[in-house]
A and B are shown apart, each in its own frame.
Chain A
Amino acid sequence: VIRRAALAACVATVLAGAHGVSGQSPAAPAAAAARPDYDIGYLGAPLPDPLMQHNKETYVSFGCAYCHGLTLIARGEAADLRLSALVDADVDGSTIVALLKSGIPQTPKLSPMPQFSDLSDQQLHAIARYIHYARGKAFFDEQCVGCHAQKPNSVPASARPPHDSALKNYTPSQVADLVAYLKAK
């Protein structure tokens, strides 16, 4: 309960000042231009938070995006990480890292997910952190941007989703994902 309250408070604080959150830092395109090997058309401009950018690059470099999608919109038969119960249950890599190390066994219906046991714990945690960030961004873009991308308070209170300051309608995992996103934006 304390953790959730702390997360909610963090979200509320950041949301209070959130407008134009979908935009990138003006420095981001310039940074991308300095990296001719960086596929800005596909990957998008580098994120303002260099640590989250590193996490994103780890997620892409090791092939996660190929199946699960850069924005977690899956291709083919890969799991939709936006809806994954396993990701819901993850706290600081607790379930994702273990799964990446072991892979997912094949079933008669689905191809297996490869195992990534040769990656370091740092790399595996980076992948987990990006997944939460991307979930938070997807959630924000779907649920929050209507009010919070506008000028603060430009949307009448009566027209806003009734989440109130404690975000009581949201699950702990949704709140955690939002925090991951908002802290890095």
Chain B
Amino acid sequence: MAMASNALTRRAFGKLMMAGLPAARLAALQRASNRSLIGGVQFGLQPFCYHDLAMTPDNRGTLVKRLVQNGMGMVELHATWVEPRFAGAGVSAADARDKLRAWRLSKPVDHYRAVKKEFDDSGITIFSYYVNINDTYTDDEIDAVFDGAKMLGALGCVGSQGLKVSERVAKFPGRHGMFLGIHNHDNLSDPDAFATEASFEKGLAFSPDIKATLDTRHYTAANGDCLGFLERHHERVSSVHLGDRRKNNGRSTPFGEGDAPIIEILRMIRDNHWPIMALLEFEHGTLRPQVQEVQLMFDYCKRAVLS
């Protein structure tokens, strides 16, 4: 397999990814000295996993330290870690929302660059930017969100928006050379929700710039077949949110105690050299410190790909 130059810029990588280059080539390109590239699989974290850490700008420094402590070189960063908070005493929700929109539209380039530097300096790549775009977003605001995400180095924006909003947003990522990630939950009764393979197929059809962020926990709880989904749609999958749950709307569990085929998923990604990021995300409870719990789950994954 040809290895890419480490000098390849993230912008170039994004363009190549969007251009649909062969998966093995893309996997090689992503191997740019990242500390959580393990056994051929690029791992990262959705920091929801740090249940005790509120996702605020004030806690961003702690987040970076924890990511390094856990050996993570990649993150999916929720917008709330980045954007200032306007809610507070004496500020209505509507006012806070307006102020946030105005902040986004002000194109705070220096702010995004400073945040990116915090992660860069610690050797952490921001793979995707998690933001729940909804009907309150103006077109200009959606563009501003993609602009901001790009300045952070992200290749795409991911969110829990449903089909209707995804259809509206589908035209935006291409303008920025990025992708829009669609993320599933296990709500099988909402026709607008991403939960089944059929709902993903509808969403992916809106634009080639839409990619699937397959949440293995919720897909398993909704009695979906993660391996079959990846087999059929891997070319349109940007990442998996890797975690465990039991079938039939069962509870979240530590990795290996539920029904999600985590080991098989990871080996499928590894053996096929698919450029699918494995972003750990879990909701199961623990009495242990959160960094310790993340490490245990990460170690489980490492064993899966190193053996």
Q: A residues engaging B (CB < 8 A)?
A: 37-39, 41-43, 57, 59-67, 103, 105-112, 114-118
Q: Which residues of A contact B292 (CB under 8 A)?
A: 37, 39
Residues of A within 8 A of B248 (CB): 115
A66 touches B251 (CB 8 A): no
User: In the docked arrangement, what's the CA distance between A105 and B186, Å?
Assistant: 11
Contact residues of B between 43 and 82, Cβ < 8 Å to A: 51-52
B250 adjacent to A114 (CB under 8 Å): yes
| Chain B residues numbered 190-214 whose CB sits less than 8 Å from any CB in chain A | 190-192
B78 to A: closest C-beta gap in Å: 13
Complex CA gap A100/B233 in Å reads: 35
User: Cβ of B285 and Cβ of A43 under 8 Å apart?
Assistant: no
Please give me the residue from chain B that is nearest to A105 by CB atom.
B189
**Known contacts A39-B52, A114-B221, A118-B250; A60/B186 CB under 8 A:** no
Interface size class on chain B is 20 to 34
**Would you give the 0/1 interface string for B244-286, flagging 1 where the beta carbon is closer than 8 Å to chain A?**
0110111110000000000000000000000000000001111
- Closest A residue to B250 using CB positions: A114
| Contact, CB under 8 Å: A39 / B288 | yes
CB within 8 Å of A: which of B28-53? Answer: 51-52
Asked if residues B289 and A41 are in contact (CB atoms below 8 Å), the reply is: yes
Which of B221, B248, B288 has the most chain A CB atoms inside 10 A of its CB?
B288
Residues of A within 8 A of B251 (CB): 62-63, 114-116, 118
Given contacts A63-B252, A118-B246, contact A108 B190 (CB under 8 A): yes
Most buried by B among A60, A65, A111: A111
Contacts of A105 in B (CB 8 A): 189
Chain A contacts of B223 at CB under 8 A? none
Besides the known contacts A62-B251, A108-B192, 12 further A-B residue pairs in the complex with CB atoms under 8 A apart: A39-B290, A42-B52, A62-B284, A65-B51, A103-B249, A106-B186, A106-B187, A106-B188, A108-B189, A110-B187, A112-B186, A114-B249
